[in-house]
């Protein structure tokens, strides 16, 4: 497993973070007195991610570190159990079993070592990795204003003469729902047929169809984290309504069919929805409202897939059994959640929601036992943190676009929880390549969000910075690289070599055993590399582009910039 290491191979640490404030003119290398009142506005912070994996506090002091962090362990199941008084810091254990150890660590970091703590807490991050996607059924050009930032969450194909875009306000006089409406051929108005819909696919062909297919390292299950889709049970929730009299019909006609399609285009399973399935399981009533949970008989497949789906027999890789790379768009992914209308009754469909078990529980209405448990987790972790002035923020690193709803849930809780007297918020990195990796390169939206324009930056603020209450802009770049591919058939080839000029240290060749992690090149080749790597906006790895985005967001939002400098060395 590769490590992200700071520019100089420093103590085996994984990344270096500098916090810039607008008033800073120079860096003072002397140890900084840590203040604890305003988050990242307190000081110029210097630290290394995962420095807590080792206890080299003397060296950290010599380096002027005043920021401490430690990653979760064992695929997110263990917290900071490497510390003896935190042996019970497990995701499934009550916070009370390790709270004293947490508070002690927070206080020791601050008072003994002058370091604030970034809290990568296993319970908090687990909840942040809840995932939800709402795929709208209406045509893209019919989307309402609330969905304009999510145009890629649509279907590419609506069957010919199967349905029509519509708007209704059945949810309330000022609540408008847009979707697709299907009606049989015999629908009339004064004896004149005004719609001619035929059975067929109401929606198929998702624009973004890879959000539930990242398998992680399935050869080493212990490495799979909660960010990997493999670990989750995915629930498919089409939001549909029909006429109440049809729902109560003794004929119990077929309304629609939901098809879950695998990566290779074959069907994993389909679930028929009949009219009586709209009836409430407890009361047997249905009043014509939209629902997305159906009273399926025991003989029916469930509307789910993935790990422990279908009552416990589903496997994590069943939608992507070949473990194909979700970021490799040369592979034709055909995952889909299709809706077939049988043509037996009127049907209105709003969207198809696909969410994992975490999101389903967090947003459960009414709350279920897990909803209550998860909110207790948040409360207890916040209470422990607020017993000390040492913490800085609750920390998440990598995340995907469909994690944003649960990240917002967490951030909202932290902002409004009375126990959070020190106002510790949620801090998450802006890895905008990963953030937008669900958008196919062939889509008209792919390049729309990642060229650093004012419009792009405003979009990032609307969907990430502001909803998740980011109190800093935390962004990384890889300005220096020195690694090679490890495995055949590419062994020995460079991924992203950062060369050095031959005039600096003579003719040099890559030799990891001697610490030479690059190659020497001519001065002209070195100048060309500098221009490409630093001065041109050429994508996610561009130092210039990342600094431009961070600067603009920091200025617009009046928040500090945390600069995460990373590299791959091998």
> Which pair of tokens denotes residue 345?
């009754």
Angle subtended at Cα 497 by Cα 492 and Cα 501, rounded to the nearest 5 degrees: 120
pLDDT in tens, the chain (570 residues): 333 333 333 333 444 555 554 433 333 333 334 444 467 877 889 999 999 999 999 999 999 999 999 999 888 899 999 999 999 999 999 999 999 999 999 999 999 999 999 999 999 999 999 999 999 999 999 999 999 999 999 999 999 899 999 999 888 887 889 999 999 966 555 555 557 799 999 999 999 999 999 998 877 777 789 999 999 999 999 999 999 999 999 999 999 999 999 999 999 999 999 999 999 999 999 999 999 999 999 999 999 999 999 999 999 999 999 999 998 888 899 999 999 999 999 999 999 999 999 999 999 999 999 999 999 999 999 999 999 999 999 999 899 999 999 999 999 999 999 999 999 999 999 988 888 888 888 777 765 555 678 888 999 999 999 999 999 999 887 777 766 655 555 555 555 567 889 999 899 888 777 878 788 899 999 888 887 777 665 555 677 888 888 999 999 999 999 998 877 665
> Which pair of tokens denotes residue 526?
């070195």
Distances (CA, A) of 442 to 147, 150, 217, 330, 450: 21, 16, 27, 11, 14
Q: Which residue has the tokens 């995460």?
A: 564
> Distance (Å, rounded) from C-alpha 227 to C-alpha 31?
36
> Which pair of tokens denotes residue 79?
């917290």
> Distance (Å, rounded) from C-alpha 61 to C-alpha 114?
8
> Distance (Å, rounded) from C-alpha 515 to C-alpha 9?
10
Tell me which long-range contacts 503-509 makes (C-beta under 8 A, separation of at least 24).
none
Alpha-carbon 361 to chain mean position: 17
Running DSSP on this structure, what letter comes out for residue 516? B
Task: Report yes or no: 402 and 133 within 8 Å, Cβ to Cβ.
Answer: yes
> Which pair of tokens denotes residue 566?
């990373």
Q: Could you tell me what percentage of the chain is helix, strand and coil, using 3-state DSSP and rounding each to the nearest 5?
A: 25, 20, 50
> Distance (Å, rounded) from C-alpha 117 to C-alpha 119?
6
């Amino acid at each position: 497993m590769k490590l992200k290491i700071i520019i100089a191979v420093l103590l085996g640490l994984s990344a270096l973070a500098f916090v810039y404030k607008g008033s800073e003119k120079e860096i003072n290398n002397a140890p900084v007195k840590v203040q604890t009142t305003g988050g990242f506005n307190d000081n110029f912070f210097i630290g290394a991610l995962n420095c807590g994996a080792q206890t080299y506090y003397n060296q950290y002091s010599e380096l002027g570190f005043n920021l401490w962090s430690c990653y979760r362990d064992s695929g997110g199941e263990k917290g900071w159990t490497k510390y003896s008084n935190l042996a019970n810091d497990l995701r499934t254990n009550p916070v009370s079993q390790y709270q004293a150890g947490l508070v002690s660590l927070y206080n020791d970091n601050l008072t003994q070592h002058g370091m604030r703590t970034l809290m990568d807490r296993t319970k908090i991050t687990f909840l942040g990795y809840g995932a939800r996607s709402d795929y709208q059924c209406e045509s893209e050009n019919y989307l309402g204003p609330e969905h304009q930032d999510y145009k890629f969450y649509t279907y590419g194909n609506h069957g010919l003469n199967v349905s029509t875009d519509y708007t209704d306000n059945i949810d309330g006089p000022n609540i408008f729902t847009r979707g697709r409406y299907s009606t049989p051929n015999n629908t009339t108005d004064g004896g004149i047929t005004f719609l001619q819909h035929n059975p067929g696919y109401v929606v198929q062909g998702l624009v973004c169809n890879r959000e539930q297919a990242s398998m992680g390292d399935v050869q080493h299950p212990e490495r799979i984290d909660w960010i990997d889709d493999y670990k989750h049970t995915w629930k498919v929730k089409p939001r549909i309504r029909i006429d109440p009299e049809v729902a109560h019909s003794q004929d119990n006609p077929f309304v629609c069919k939901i098809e879950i399609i695998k990566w290779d285009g074959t069907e994993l399973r389909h679930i028929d929805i009949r009219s009586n399935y709209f009836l409430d399981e407890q009361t047997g009533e249905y009043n014509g409202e939209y629902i997305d949970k159906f009273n399926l008989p025991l003989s029916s497949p469930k509307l789910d897939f993935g790990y422990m789906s279908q009552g416990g027999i589903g496997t994590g890789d069943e939608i992507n059994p070949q473990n194909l790379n979700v970021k490799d768009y040369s592979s034709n992914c055909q995952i889909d959640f299709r809706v077939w209308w049988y043509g037996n009754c009127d049907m209105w469909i709003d969207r198809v929601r696909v969410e994992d078990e975490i999101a389903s529980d967090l947003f459960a209405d009414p709350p279920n036992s897990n909803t209550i448990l998860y909110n207790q987790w948040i409360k207890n972790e916040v209470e422990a943190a607020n017993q000390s002035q040492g913490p800085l923020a609750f920390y998440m690193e990598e995340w995907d676009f469909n994690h944003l709803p649960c990240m917002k849930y967490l951030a909202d809780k932290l902002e409004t929880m009375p126990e959070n007297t020190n106002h510790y918020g949620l801090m998450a990195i802006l890895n905008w390549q990963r953030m937008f990796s669900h958008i196919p390169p062939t889509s008209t939206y792919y390049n729309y969000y990642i060229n650093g324009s004012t419009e792009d930056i405003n979009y990032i603020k609307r969907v990430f910075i502001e909803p998740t209450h980011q109190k800093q802009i935390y962004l990384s770049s890889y300005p220096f690289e020195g690694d090679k591919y490890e495995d055949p058939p590419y062994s020995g080839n460079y991924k992203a070599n950062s060369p050095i000029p031959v005039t600096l240290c003579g003719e040099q060749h890559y030799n990891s055993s001697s610490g030479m992690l690059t190659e020497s090149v001519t001065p002209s080749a070195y100048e060309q590399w500098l221009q490409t790597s630093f001065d041109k906006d050429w994508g996610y790895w561009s130092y210039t582009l990342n600094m431009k985005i961070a600067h603009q967001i920091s200025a617009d939002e009046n928040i500090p910039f945390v600069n995460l400098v990373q590299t791959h060395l091998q």
